[in-house]
Amino acid sequence: MRPGGSEKDHCQAMRTVVVDKIASITQARGLGHELRIAEDIPCEEGVIVVVEVLNNKSTYNTLELTSGRMAKVAKGDIVVGALGHRKALFGYSGRVPDSIKPGDVIQMLNIGGVLGVCESVNAEKGRPFDCRVMGVVLEFPYLGERIGVPARIGYKSLDYDAKLDTKGVPVIALAGTCMEAGKTAAACAIIARMRHRGLNVHAFKATGVSLRRDILAMEDAGARKSMIFTDFGVGTTTAKVGPALTRTMMTEMCAGDPDVVVFELGDGILGAYGVEAILASPDIRNGITGIVLSANDPVAAWGGVKLLRDQFGIEPAVVTGPSTDNQVGVDIIKDRMGVPAFNAMQDGAALGDRVIEAAGLAAKFPIRAAGE
């Protein structure tokens, strides 16, 4: 007999539910809108559950679907998400509940579909959506048998012993002083410039809370392949999983014969998502060709540069972000820190050119004259 009881037991525990919205955190499972659910819910990170939304919101009221579209969420919606935690400076913070059963109320912690117990609220986002738990989504992995097992996020499990092999491909990392420091905008500007100069670019996001929006933006900018930590069953990264995730994705992205790999370290260098643990890993540092620092203001830029230099022995290739929104910030960064600075929105081509130079690819992919 399979673990978890007989087929009869499972059939009695199952019921069918039709859902309205399927969050992007579950994308790897290829779920449809008619699902089988059960009441015995493993209270673990990454377990996929169905909930009913109990309130309306006027802000932070959308959900990223598996298609990548953002859909407005309203009271009464039946939504598929996954249990997880979040520790966000500019968002909600929460944890996986200690126990969970149908009828319990939990909260939607991010727009990617992470569900948990909210413990701290950012005033700008308002109170989160309250959600009544309906059950755990079941998968049926045993061919020809109606035995359901709780579904979990991700295409594959994370290998904590994964080795790093970049195959000599240059790798550019984007780190920030905190979340919402302009890392994704900078990554997109850099990738777009690389594509314009003829480079084959692969991209991934190594840390953060599950949301595919950033890697979709990188694809739109010209990245031919992309990945995110959620693909490996991780909804929210930590110091425990960050290094293994980064090694795995660096190796996989470099294996496809790109000219360069660009990846974003979500959140800030000082944060709960594992960026410090990644930069503290000697093999990862040695595998990174250059680091772009995105900073909100000149003081943040100064602190970020000092932290990279003093704690990790890393010399940033360039500074970008809101700290470079006008020439005043650019000049301060250049003069006080001795680091080039370019704004991704106003001078994206120059930012990209600087990164291409730092990657050692300027000679192989020269700047094309107009009309070429």
Residue with tokens 């990245």: 223
CA distance 248 to 242: 10
How high is the pLDDT of residue 147? 83
How high is the pLDDT of residue 125? 85
The residues near 253 (Cβ < 8 Å, ≥ 6 apart) are 202, 203, 204, 225, 227, 261, 263
In angstroms, the Cα distances linking 336 to 275, 303, 305 are 25, 12, 11
- Which pTM does this prediction carry? 0.92
370 pLDDT exceeds 70? no
Residues composing the chain: 372
Residue with tokens 């579909």: 113
How high is the pLDDT of residue 228? 97
4 pLDDT exceeds 70? no
CA distance 169 to 200: 11
Tokens matching residue 144: 């020809």
372 pLDDT exceeds 60? no
Angle between the 213-221 and 183-196 helix axes, to the nearest 10 degrees?
20
Tokens matching residue 214: 């950033």
How high is the pLDDT of residue 87? 86
The predicted-structure confidence for 246-294, as pLDDT tens digits, reads as follows 999 999 999 989 999 999 999 899 989 999 999 999 999 999 999 999 9
User: Which of 11-15, 104-108, 197-201 bottoms out in mean pLDDT, i.e. has the lowest?
Assistant: 11-15
Measured CA angle at 369 (ends 368, 372), to 5 deg: 75
Q: Are 355 and 317 in contact (CB under 8 A)?
A: yes
Confidence band of 20 (pLDDT split at 50, 70, 90): very high
CA distance 176 to 184: 10
The predicted-structure confidence for 60-90, as pLDDT tens digits, reads as follows 999 999 999 999 999 999 999 999 999 887 8
Estimate the share of the chain in helix, then strand, then coil, as percent rounded to the nearest 5. 30, 25, 45
Beta strands in the chain (DSSP E): 15-18, 21-22, 34-38, 48-53, 62-64, 70-72, 78-83, 86-87, 93-95, 105-108, 114-120, 130-139, 149-150, 171-176, 201-207, 225-228, 260-265, 290-294, 318-320
Strand partners, 51: 79, 133
Q: Are 231 and 29 in contact (CB under 8 A)?
A: no
8 pLDDT exceeds 50? no
CA distance 91 to 129: 13
How high is the pLDDT of residue 3? 45
Averaged pLDDT, 32-46: 96
Q: How far is the first Cα of the chain from the last one, in angstroms, to the nearest whole number? A: 67
How high is the pLDDT of residue 10? 43
How high is the pLDDT of residue 1? 38
Higher-pLDDT residue of 121, 303: 303
28 pLDDT exceeds 90? yes
